[in-house]
Structure 1
Amino acid sequence: MKQRILLIFLFVTTLTFSQVAITGNVTDALGEPLPGANILEKGTFTGVVSDFNGNYEITVSSDNTILVFSYLGYETQEVTVSGSARIDIELKESQESLGEVSIKGFAGVIGKSRKRTESIQTTPESVTALNSEGIEKAGVTDISSFSALVPNLKFNSAQAVGLNFITVRGIPQVRGGDAPLAFVIDGVTIPDPSLLSQELYDLALVEVVKGPQGALYGKNAIGGAINIYTKEPTNKMSNKITLGVGNGGNLQGQFVSSGAISKDKVFYRFSTQYKTFDGLLTNEFLDKKVDFSEDFNIRGQVKARLSDKFTISGAFQHFNIDGGATYYSVNPTGFDGQFPGGVLDPNPTDGNNVIVANILGRSDMKNNYGNFKMDYNLGTVKIQSITSFNRVERSTNGDLDFLSLDGLTQGEEITTKTFNQELRINNTNTDTKFDWSLGGFYQNIKKDVYQNGTTGVDFDGAPDFYDTADYVNETKTIALFGFGDYQLTSKLTVSAGFRYDIDNFTQEDFLFVTNSDRDNNEFQPKVSLSYQVSKKALLYANYGRGYRNGGFNAGATDFFDKSFDDEISDNYEVGFKTTTWNDRLIFNGSVFSSRIRNQQQYILDLTTFIAGVYNYDETKVFGFELESRARLSKYFDVFANFGLADAEILEGGTTGGADGTTTNNSNYNGNKVPFVPVSTFSIGLESSFNLTDSVKFNGFLNLDTTGKTYYHESNLDIHTTDAYSLLDARIAFTYKNWKLDIWGRNLTDKQYYQEFSPGKFVGSPDDVAWRGQPLTIGTSISVKF
């Protein structure tokens, strides 16, 4: 028996060491990465594709293996391994291949939603993604502009810089709370949701994967994850300068530089951007623009290949955003200079809402972020360590009554510090039926919150100051995770994963002089089954659990308790992905059903000036999504998506009771969940062709429709916005290394709200709303050298 075990061990060891792990990068003649290039071991079925930065990893059978590199529109190359552990390839354009009609669309997009490189058409998840080419064509500069292309995803902002509301598949983000999506930049989880407001530039990939992703991304991925990957440092020197102007005093400057510090060994990438905007919305009382902003961003990256197997990299980013704040609009028909007492039309038209606050609100957000990564490739296994830190400082000052009355003001200062450490072990053997990864994670988040304001003027003529919050929340998390795929047959694959979070939450309250502490352990499983019906058709079914952590409010009122509970989602989904008509038509869809326990909601109690979060006992969501893209001709694409999310309160429960009076939310059973658009719809056109031998044209047009949205559990029509549509367009002309962009957003100058607050339910005499961005247009010119 011992001899048999020894023979098996020797056989496995010999087989393992006979395999050769190859890494590398695929670029074009200008040094730009080619995502989705095919790398195949000649004479076998072993192959991989390059990722969004052109990187690849493949395990081949021996040192004498020939690798075949191919990419649409480029000449195929063959290279013998010959003992090399790294092979970088530069592909040349092929005139013959360029004449073919083929859609790159979704099929050509390489994502990393499951933490590994793969085409999103073979990923058994609901994924929308754009590589760098698609990002430039669509003019994606932030999460808001990308969300317009994603079904059942809506991103809004209000109140101040960094205050966001993102909703996905019927799960909304509460004001100042955690987002229902994990936000990941270059593989690093960014827990502070205010950072969703940052400008996005110099990107290699932006993707959204929907459905609970706790097994892969941890807590707060209850509705999915947003993956952002920036462009990596390159071996070949390249630089880019962009200058732009637009209406409302919009000015922009951007500079990107990348190259080798030591050829083939140490590389850098430096990028910076400055934007300023005077504003388009006017405060009628002060006669000043209120939506002004100034944004400075700088990012540096260094990557070093210490050996063919060991790579280290570091990145640091700083940005500073200043902008307007608290410029809510009110009903002008009720405003008489003393007190309005009016109801605001939830569907705005010219003249039926005004901004009249007597204080010009201001806000700012500063961020310092850094990470350090180490990758060690052992052949068929890669060990990765990611260490990161993040510090965000936000402040807001402005009106609280939003009227031209002396009196109520508000102020807020928030500092969030985060430390992350993740250790991950990944399988890199491409010649196997079993693909896996596992690891551990540690996170510490400390959030310092101070809120104050004034209630009027006291007897000595000075403002009467008050404090509403002064506390420090700290969250410590230790997590273990694992995920694996196993090919049961050549067509049928089963996947399973888990994440076990061990959380500790504490609050030190300096205003009410209290200390709170609670622990929570959460198991987040995920199971998936996919069936590759044919090379062009995939069917899949998923089950996943998501978890958004609870926490502590600044205090207790009639509307909410001192603490709020963890939110848990169990989601079931079935979907399909198809590519037909000679790769010119892509049609994807999914149906999902979720049950959510303790869904979180937000309210501001104006009788105490304390804001807080409360829970519904149970809600349910049912919906579906459809996405399609077609290449009608060599130069013309049409794309469309539709999403529906029916989010219903099953049991609202009871909350509050600070003075013995509770709020019974069971009165709203059967009603729609607030802040959730019933539907989303987008349709667009894209065109690309050569005007001359040296001038290329790109055009992009998108009509994005947001469906009916309820802004309170009562579902009253006077607090419900109807569907509205926004039209965006972009055209570009490229001549050699020069590019001219002309763009426009909200081209029909549609008036709409990003947030609506019914005064009836918060103790306010009037409704208030946050107006969306009016028509904005601009142009920019860029040059590469």
Structure 2
Amino acid sequence: MGNFGIRRSYLAGTSLLALTAGLLSVPTTAARAQESASNSGDMVLEEITVTSRRRSESLQSVPAAVTAFSSQTIEDAGIERPSDFVALTPNVTLVETQNAGSSFIVIRGVSQARNSEPSVAVIIDGVQQVNPAQFNQELFDIEQIEVLKGPQGALYGRNAIGGAIVVTTKQPSDEIEGKVKVGMDSGPGYKAQASISGPVGQSDTLKFRLAGSFMDTDGYINNEYLDEEADPYKDFSLRGMLTWQASERFQMDLRGSMSELRTQAFYYNIVGDVNDTSLPVRVNNAGQNDRDMYTLSLRMNYDADWGTFTSVSAYDKLEEILTGDAFNFLPIEESFFNDFLGFDMNQSQYLDVEAWSQELRLTSNSDQRLRWIVGTYFIGTDRYISTGNMVDTGQGVFPVYREPSTNPLNPQATFLADSQDNFAWAVFGDVTYDITEDLEIDLSLRYDHDKREQTTLTPTQYLPNVPGFPAGATGDVRDRSFSEWQPKVTLRYNVSDDVSLYAGYSTGFRSGGFNQTGVGAVAFSNGIVGVNDIFEAEVAKTFEAGVKSSLMDRMMTLNASVFTTKSENSYFFVFLAANSTQNLGNVPEARLTGFELEGTLRPMAGLDLNFGLGYTDSKIKDFENPAYIGNEVPVLSRYTLNLGAQYHWDITDDVRGIMRVDYQRIGKTFWDVENSTVRRPVDLVDARIGVEWNDWSLTAWARNLFDERYNAEYSPGGFVFKAKPARYGIELSKRF
């Protein structure tokens, strides 16, 4: 049945692709001639230029499955967080957790887990993020977002195994300009965002841009025991950019950003059914989730006659502390531990990451038949993590950083701490050649080498001691290297000026690493297979084909793609309540097969329609426990569907109305390798209505309009986290 299901989905996708290509190849000259006579300029869909292949090119000409959002779409759709644009992208889902620093993006079944390397490369203004905890943040003053599906390791390296997300912020302007936006929501809460940009003084060569965002809300999920909201949220973010055009050929960009987030964590429910949302939150410790992030980067471009030399240097710093209740997340008098041991537990986790990276790249001119890119990349990362349980005496929970607690109000019960010193380097190249005017071949190759060293900092008395496993010791050092060649080859053929076909093969790679010392022994003693102190690197090999088209005098776009991926050593997540550790295991082999179909249509002036459908069929082909062979891979939603409609109209000569509705359906989701927990499909509706006049706009909005109740996350052991209920708000903005 498993192989039949994969073949069936592959044949369905291939048939869909063939049908789409066949329909698109039918001559439409007469229809175009008739339509052209009546179509005005405002009927033509805007052309989006993307840079996902490190060059500027039309979205419809890129031989890859890419979903892009322009600055106008970002504003009209109210995109302010990653979950907002993910909801509009087929075959992409985002698992939001109550830990603000952990959100798991899943593309075509390639998923991320807690404390794992990212499954997707995230590039902001040309700088690749180094830690997955950086991804889930406020998006403000954004020019464009591009989502590439399928392995992108040939260009972006390790951890682009599922795809890449390219975010471009707004650039400094030639004249002073800015924007202010304020709003309120049903938390209750409020937000304020502002940006200002222009030349420095009277300079023609030195420009700046400064943007900031502040949000403060009481929250939406009630803690019944403490009679307060469990999820208050306060975020302050600031970003600055300085560009200097030193000469006609040389330009420098200096960018810096900071983000301070304050919220709460660890208010799970323990349920037997992942679809059960009836239990209220009843933790006696509100806990904390504090995250501070800082980035600084310098990009230099030198334009020579043959092309461009680019240097990108970056520094990243992230620090996060989590505290709160522990299993089973109930008041002391009702807790599991209190019933059997006479006391309750709480927990703390501390994460501290610093990274330095450098990329050097040579890019040929784009206006030639043979185009090429060569480069090298280096990154050094220092990472420290500690986790532990403390005895809950009813006096609250206190954060634990680098040393076990000695506080008599919160004595330490378990404690694990490790530091990692990682260094990775890569070399890469890309060649694109126009064989004919209509046929293009693109060849890419990248080699990544990642060396990791972990030092055990856990005091000896806290190290797990399981018979049959060697006892660890404070100061133990483990090291391991992971490396991989990542090739990519793509052919593109232009059927006409408006229709193109493409097909290709690519390999993606995600580094392996270390669970905390002693985890393998604890997992074994709890009967869990596939989890060891070291988890292996993951490799994905993908075949893909697609068609892209602009139809009806470019009033419509219709794109389709099919893919099949062989995944080796994909990650899965296991939480060990015995020592509050978050751990990774490997699925030796899995197969992922599916398709995407998406399009946009402007049937009349002012009305825009969009849709996207993605489907992924997965099967575990090899596993230590043979009972799991044939199961779906974990954290996979079988399909996604998104539909949207937006209408602009003139109320008066000076006032314009706008209305938008977006619908998203997330198919049933498999959470673990056992497939014992399957969440039912989820249906979400977002809506916006507003008016614009002169440089002002006023908008009312709703998220999860019909108050769909579901659990956003499930962790092995029955831990569930409630998704946010319906939220409403209003915002006012002014440009100057």
Q: Shorter-chain-normalised TM-score: which range?
A: 0.7 to 0.9
RMSD: 1.7
In the TM superposition, 1:24-39 aligns within 5 A as none
Q: Give 1:747's match in structure 2, choosing from 695, 701, 705.
A: 705
Contact 2:543 2:565 in 1 (8 A): yes
- Report whether the alignment pairs 1:547 with 2:509: yes
Contact 1:204 1:230 in 2 (8 A): yes
How many Å separate the matches in 2 of 1:461 and 1:475? 36
Kindly tell me: are residues 415 and 463 of structure 1, through their superposed partners in 2, closer, same or farther at Cα, counting changes over 3 Å? closer
- 2:494 aligned residue: 532
- Report whether the alignment pairs 1:774 with 2:721: no
- 1:187 aligned residue: 126
How many Å separate the matches in 2 of 1:233 and 1:100? 29
Deviations 1:599-647 (A, max 9, x none): 1111012234433211111011001000011111111121110101112
- 2:288 aligned residue: 362
AA paired with 2:312? I
AA paired with 2:372? W
- Report whether the alignment pairs 1:738 with 2:696: yes
- 1:494 aligned residue: 441
Structure 2 SS opposite 1:583 = coil
Structure 1 SS opposite 2:373 = strand
Q: Give 2:349's match in structure 1, choosing from 393, 405, 412.
A: 412
- 2:679 aligned residue: 721
- 2:75 aligned residue: 136
In the TM superposition, 1:91-490 aligns within 5 A as 99-104=40-45, 108-261=47-200, 262-331=202-271, 343=272, 345-348=273-276, 352-401=278-327, 402-405=329-332, 407-430=344-367, 432-455=368-391, 462-490=409-437
Shift of 1:578: 1.1
Shift of 1:713: 1.9
How many Å separate the matches in 1 of 2:74 and 2:193? 16
Identity among equivalent positions (%) equals: 30
Kindly tell me: are residues 738 and 457 of structure 1, through their superposed partners in 2, closer, same or farther at Cα, counting changes over 3 Å? closer
- Report whether the alignment pairs 1:510 with 2:457: yes
Contact 1:235 1:263 in 2 (8 A): no
Contact 1:330 1:355 in 2 (8 A): no
Shift of 1:455: 4.1
Shift of 1:591: 0.4
- 1:706 aligned residue: 666
- Report whether the alignment pairs 1:583 with 2:511: no
Shift of 1:131: 1.2
Shift of 1:264: 2.2
AA paired with 1:243? V
How many Å separate the matches in 2 of 1:700 and 1:435? 41
AA paired with 1:448? Y
Contact 2:390 2:411 in 1 (8 A): yes
How many Å separate the matches in 1 of 2:654 and 2:203? 32
- Report whether the alignment pairs 1:632 with 2:603: yes
How many Å separate the matches in 2 of 1:517 and 1:103? 57
TM-score (norm. length: structure 1): 0.81
Contact 2:484 2:509 in 1 (8 A): yes
How many Å separate the matches in 1 of 2:647 and 2:49? 21
- Report whether the alignment pairs 1:605 with 2:605: no
How many Å separate the matches in 2 of 1:437 and 1:651? 38
Contact 1:218 1:501 in 2 (8 A): yes
Shift of 1:585: 1.6
Shift of 1:462: 4.7
Structure 1 SS opposite 2:378 = strand
Kindly tell me: are residues 696 and 666 of structure 1, through their superposed partners in 2, closer, same or farther at Cα, counting changes over 3 Å? same
How many Å separate the matches in 2 of 1:143 and 1:429? 31
How many Å separate the matches in 2 of 1:229 and 1:446? 27
Contact 2:188 2:219 in 1 (8 A): yes
Structure 1 SS opposite 2:627 = helix
Contact 1:468 1:610 in 2 (8 A): no
AA paired with 1:769? V
AA paired with 1:549? S
Deviations 1:388-415 (A, max 9, x none): 1000001100011211125121101101
Contact 1:744 1:775 in 2 (8 A): yes
Shift of 1:378: 0.7
Contact 2:498 2:551 in 1 (8 A): yes
How many Å separate the matches in 2 of 1:632 and 1:222? 37
Deviations 1:581-600 (A, max 9, x none): 11112110100000011111
The unaligned stretches of length 5 or more in structure 2 are 1-36, 333-342, 395-406, 459-472
Shift of 1:104: 2.1
Structure 2 SS opposite 1:197 = coil
TM-score (norm. length: structure 2): 0.86
- Report whether the alignment pairs 1:689 with 2:649: yes
AA paired with 1:747? L
AA paired with 1:595? K
Structure 1 SS opposite 2:554 = coil
- 2:470 aligned residue: none
How many Å separate the matches in 2 of 1:508 and 1:783? 53
AA paired with 1:727? V
Contact 2:130 2:316 in 1 (8 A): no
How many Å separate the matches in 1 of 2:279 and 2:238? 38
Deviations 1:68-126 (A, max 9, x none): xxxxxxxxxxxxxxxxxxxxxxxxxxxx9994343425xx1111111111111000000
Deviations 1:476-502 (A, max 9, x none): 111101112100001000000011112
How many Å separate the matches in 2 of 1:521 and 1:715? 32
AA paired with 1:750? E
Contact 1:290 1:361 in 2 (8 A): no
Shift of 1:273: 1.1
Contact 2:44 2:553 in 1 (8 A): no
Shift of 1:436: 1.0
Contact 2:274 2:714 in 1 (8 A): yes
Shift of 1:136: 0.4
- 1:570 aligned residue: 541
- Report whether the alignment pairs 1:521 with 2:457: no
- 1:90 aligned residue: none
Shift of 1:758: 4.4
Deviations 1:366-394 (A, max 9, x none): 01101111111012311111111000001
The unaligned stretches of length 5 or more in structure 1 are 1-95, 332-342, 654-664, 760-766
Shift of 1:666: 2.3
How many Å separate the matches in 1 of 2:316 and 2:704? 34
Deviations 1:22-52 (A, max 9, x none): xxxxxxxxxxxxxxxxxxxxxxxxxxxxxxx
Greater than 6 Å deviation, 4+ residue runs: none
Contact 1:448 1:472 in 2 (8 A): yes
Deviations 1:685-713 (A, max 9, x none): 01122222111222221001110011222
AA paired with 2:170? K
